[in-house]
Amino acid sequence: MHAPDPAPTTSYFPRRGWTAANRCGPNGGNCVEVNHPVAGGHVGVRDSKNIADGVLVFNAEQWRSFLSGTRGGAFDLT
């Protein structure tokens, strides 16, 4: 695990560019939003209802590993 980066996450992620799954609908629901900015190679993940609560920041390798685990069922609860 790496030490937290003291730079504010707003420096990584512009206001625009956040996306959520189509299933979330127009009201946000219980969804997460993802931001893939070009610069820096970092991926941001935040709660769609509480965007001021912070952003989880992943580097490209961590994000690929997370997606691979998700697609492979590593996080399934059943």
In order along the chain (78 residues), what is the average pLDDT of each group of 10 residues? 57 78 71 79 86 85 93 91
Please tell me the predicted confidence (pLDDT) of residue 37.
72
- Tell me if 39 sits within 8 A of 45, measured CB to CB: no
Task: Supply the pLDDT for residue 52.
Answer: 79
Among 57, 49, 43, 41, which residue's Cα sits nearest to residue 7? 57
Q: What is the pTM of this model?
A: 0.71
Residue 63 token pair: 């994000």
Contacts 24+ apart (CB under 8 A), 49-52: 51/18
At 39, the amino acid letter reads: A
